């Protein structure tokens, strides 16, 4: 899996999906640029999300709030006081870690030990193996499980109460070492606020302190009443937004999984107090179906309930994806109560209430939020799509291919137009005419360099679902060869049918 991750990162660079930011200056840690194919894939992911949220729901509307917000926003939201990660430095290696992650890695190791023990026993006892009994009675498994439960409880309690000394104590008790150097020479654990800040040009000091938003959600909360009034929405209704967010992550070593500048797709759904759990369940299911509609196997996803609730939530679940480095959070669904609207109302002194005409009463709505990182979705789609395979009936270099089996609706390029030979002007002219016709319907790429097999490989590597080849028969009978990326089947079809065949395959409505 580690190997796959390495291959993915180099594939992203080589085939124009992602570049390290400011690479000529050796890059900037945890910041990346989306390259020509990457920006298409990312835009398609955003379009899919936006259409399924806004276009498919009469009671969800869009918003594009500014990144900078009044600094009081972040006081009210709790981010100034509570958006912290516990940081610990190793005095020998000078490396910085998240204390909670070091402990979680230790817990993962205990889990791996238990699983190894169980698998060994399964292989030994075969069909008669009773896993439940074995887990309950094997001394080594029981010992590790007990240790795991105790540490997990201490970690949850320390994180909930913000007890940094206890985190340090857990690190010492578990004899956790610096993963790179093996050193145990740790500093104290301290809170580190993840918000980046900057300064307004015309106001000095604390008054002029601005934050780069760490989540897009607050732009929605502060506009809640504006949107409700101007769109005349009735509860329940939602506001959707896609935009950049910024977090000064302590550990950011997993490519685009954990970045300092990233993009979120968030939707706040405003409901009557007391009805939030029913909507929470509704959005859990809806969001999982959104993922599955792309054809990704269900086994790649799982729900993971939060034990450690954020300061604003009364229930929270992650949709985890099986990334090349294991199951990790891809999306969060949170029941945020009336925490945000209430605190903004208190701090701003402006009413943020909804008037229910039927009940003739005012109330502050409760909120169910769906929040997915666009970059993580990008990584999930790429890692699921990446495939190395043999090409039947091909020889030499052409017998192997790397193919991105992306859903056609999100593939960056929909169709490659390829004249069989570059030095035959009649083929090149015809291919150009076909390209100029198709470009009005979807993104195409014209390519006449190298042998046709090589051009197919290039398109496979960026996930193009169809290649159309123009040969000498095309000139006499107005037909082309269309090649399917996944089945490798080649068919002869009239030029007039290309647009319809491809449009049907890439249509968004296939996903809804």
Where does this chain bind ligand GAP (CB under 6 A)? 215, 217, 247, 249, 258-259, 262, 264, 266, 329-332, 369, 371-373, 375-376
HSE at residue 203, side-chain half, CA atoms within 13 A, is 9
Q: Give the 3-state DSSP-derived string for 445-475, with helices as H, strands as E and coil as C.
A: EECCCCCHHHHHHHHHHHCCCEEEEECHHHH
Closest CA to 341 of 362, 316, 366: 366
Which C-beta is closer to ligand GAP: that of 248 or that of 479?
Answer: 248
Which C-beta is closer to ligand GAP: that of 114 or that of 294?
Answer: 294
Residue 507, helix vs strand vs coil: coil
Sort strands 386-390 and 479-484 into parallel, antiparallel or unpaired.
unpaired
Whole-angstrom Cα Rg for the chain: 27
On whether the CB atoms of residues 195 and 74 are closer than 8 A, the answer is yes
Which C-beta is closer to ligand GAP: that of 54 or that of 372?
Answer: 372
Which C-beta is closer to ligand GAP: that of 371 or that of 445?
Answer: 371
Q: How far is the CB of 411 from ligand GAP (least distance, A)?
A: 22
Q: How far is the CB of 337 from ligand GAP (least distance, A)?
A: 14
Q: How far is the CB of 340 from ligand GAP (least distance, A)?
A: 10
Closest CA to 216 of 52, 46, 374, 66: 66
218 burial via Cβ count (<10 Å: 0-12, 13-18, 19+): buried
Which C-beta is closer to ligand GAP: that of 314 or that of 479?
Answer: 314
Q: How far is the CB of 367 from ligand GAP (least distance, A)?
A: 10
Q: Is 326 left (phi over 0), alpha (psi -120 to 50) or beta?
A: left
Which residue, judged by CB position, is nearest to ligand GAP in the bound state? 373
* Angle separating helix axes 36-50 and 374-385, nearest 10 degrees: 110
Q: How far is the CB of 6 from ligand GAP (least distance, A)?
A: 20
Q: How far is the CB of 256 from ligand GAP (least distance, A)?
A: 7
Q: Which residues contact 121 (CB under 8 A, 6 or more apart)?
A: 129, 134, 138
Closest CA to 378 of 38, 94, 28, 114: 38
Which C-beta is closer to ligand GAP: that of 144 or that of 371?
Answer: 371
- Residue 22: which H helix or E strand, with range? none
Cα–Cα dist 112/118, whole Å: 10
Cα–Cα dist 345/341, whole Å: 6
Which C-beta is closer to ligand GAP: that of 106 or that of 257?
Answer: 257
- Widest Cα–Cα separation across the chain: 81
On whether the CB atoms of residues 365 and 243 are closer than 8 A, the answer is no
On whether the CB atoms of residues 216 and 370 are closer than 8 A, the answer is no
Cα–Cα dist 163/172, whole Å: 15
Peptide bond into 345 cis (omega under 30): no
Which C-beta is closer to ligand GAP: that of 275 or that of 329?
Answer: 329
Q: How far is the CB of 213 from ligand GAP (least distance, A)?
A: 10
Q: How far is the CB of 94 from ligand GAP (least distance, A)?
A: 23
- Measuring CA to CA, how many Å separate 48 from each of 192, 297, 331, 388, 408? 36, 18, 15, 27, 12
Which C-beta is closer to ligand GAP: that of 367 or that of 452?
Answer: 367
Q: How far is the CB of 28 from ligand GAP (least distance, A)?
A: 14
Q: How far is the CB of 259 from ligand GAP (least distance, A)?
A: 4
Which C-beta is closer to ligand GAP: that of 222 or that of 413?
Answer: 222
Q: How many CB atoms lie within 10 A of CB 25?
A: 8
Which C-beta is closer to ligand GAP: that of 189 or that of 330?
Answer: 330
Q: How far is the CB of 263 from ligand GAP (least distance, A)?
A: 8
């Amino acid at each position: 899996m580690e190997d796959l991750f390495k291959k993915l990162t180099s594939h992203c660079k080589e085939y124009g999906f992602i570049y390290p930011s400011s690479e000529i200056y050796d890059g900037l840690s945890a910041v990346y640029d989306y390259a020509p194919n990457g920006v298409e894939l990312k835009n398609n992911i955003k379009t899919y999300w936006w259409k399924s949220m806004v276009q498919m729901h009469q009671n969800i509307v869009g918003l594009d709030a500014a990144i900078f917000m009044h600094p009081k926003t972040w006081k009210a939201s709790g981010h100034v006081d509570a958006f912290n990660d516990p940081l610990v430095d190793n005095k020998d290696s000078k490396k910085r870690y998240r204390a909670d992650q070091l402990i979680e890695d230790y817990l993962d190791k205990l889990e791996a030990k238990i699983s190894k023990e169980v698998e060994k026993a399964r292989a030994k006892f075969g069909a008669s193996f009773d896993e439940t009994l074995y887990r309950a009675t094997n001394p080594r498994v029981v010992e590790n499980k007990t240790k795991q439960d105790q540490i997990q409880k201490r970690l949850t309690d320390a994180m909930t109460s913000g007890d940094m000394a206890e985190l340090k104590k857990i690190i010492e008790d578990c004899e956790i070492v610096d993963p790179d150097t093996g050193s145990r020479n740790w500093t104290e654990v301290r809170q580190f606020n993840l918000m980046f800040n900057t300064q307004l040009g015309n106001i000095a000091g604390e008054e002029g302190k601005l934050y780069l938003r760490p989540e897009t959600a607050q732009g929605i909360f502060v506009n809640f009443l504006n949107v409700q009034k101007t769109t005349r929405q009735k509860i329940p209704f939602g506001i959707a937004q896609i935009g950049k967010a910024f977090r000064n992550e302590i550990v950011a070593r997993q490519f685009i999984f954990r970045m300092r500048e990233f993009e979120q797709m968030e939707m706040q759904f405003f409901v009557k107090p007391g009805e939030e759990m029913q909507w929470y369940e509704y959005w859990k299911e809806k969001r999982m179906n959104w993922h599955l509609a792309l054809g990704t196997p269900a086994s790649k996803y799982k729900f993971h309930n939060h034990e450690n609730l954020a300061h604003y939530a009364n229930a929270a679940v992650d949709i985890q994806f099986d990334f090349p480095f294991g199951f990790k959070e891809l999306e969060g669904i949170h029941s945020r109560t009336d925490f945000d609207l209430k605190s903004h109302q208190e701090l701003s002194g402006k009413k943020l209430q909804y008037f229910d005409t039927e009940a003739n009463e005012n109330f502050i709505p409760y909120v169910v939020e769906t929040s997915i990182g666009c970059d993580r979705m990008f990584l999930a789609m790429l890692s699921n799509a990446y495939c190395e395979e043999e090409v039947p009936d091909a020889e030499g270099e052409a017998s192997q291919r790397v193919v991105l089996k992306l859903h056609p609706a999100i593939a960056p390029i929909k169709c490659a137009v390829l004249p069989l030979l570059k030095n035959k002007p009649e083929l090149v002219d015809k291919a150009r005419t076909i390209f100029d016709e198709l470009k009005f319907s979807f993104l195409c790429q014209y390519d006449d360099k190298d042998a046709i097999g090589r051009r197919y490989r290039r398109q496979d590597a960026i996930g193009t679902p169809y290649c159309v080849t123009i040969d000498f028969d095309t000139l006499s009978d107005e037909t082309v060869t269309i090649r399917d990326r996944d089945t490798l089947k080649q068919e002869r079809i009239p030029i007039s049918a290309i647009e319809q065949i491809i449009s049907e395959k890439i249509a968004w409505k296939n996903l809804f």
